[in-house]
Amino acid sequence: MNISKAELCTSIGIVIRDLRLAEKKSIETLSEEIDIGHSQLSRIERGKINTSIYQLYKILTALNVPMNTFVKVLKSTIVKVKKEKRKKRNNEKEK
């Protein structure tokens, strides 16, 4: 699967945000639990910055999500992000 860095960061952020919301945790609460700034966590969730494997591990541990579950969800999210990007590009071409 060919994916850009931006698409991967966006997909990771979407999954993290969805998992956080499923646990009914605020950005502030989660960021305190994993000892990073809430603005940094917000940028990760919005796909604006890349995150390390260690930060990802801390996030998933705080959300009680195994890495293999995260990867499964991430794969399907990547497909959705790529489809949305293609759809947006096609709509722009039609204008």
pTM listed for this prediction: 0.88
Give domain 5-94's CATH number out of 3.40.50.12240, 3.40.50.1980, 1.10.260.40, 3.40.630.10. Answer: 1.10.260.40
What does the alpha-carbon distance between residue 9 and residue 94 come to, in Å, rounded to a whole number? 28
SS3 at position 61: helix
Per-residue pLDDT at 95: 67
- Map out the domains of the chain as residue ranges: 5-94
Buried b (16+ CB within 10 A) or exposed e, 50-83: ebeeebeebbbebbebeeeebeebbeebbeebbe
Instruction: Read off the pLDDT band of 2 (50, 70, 90).
Output: confident
- Spatial contact of 48 and 12, defined as CB atoms under 8 Å apart: no
Q: Mean pLDDT for the chain?
A: 93
Per-residue pLDDT at 87: 85
SS3 at position 50: coil
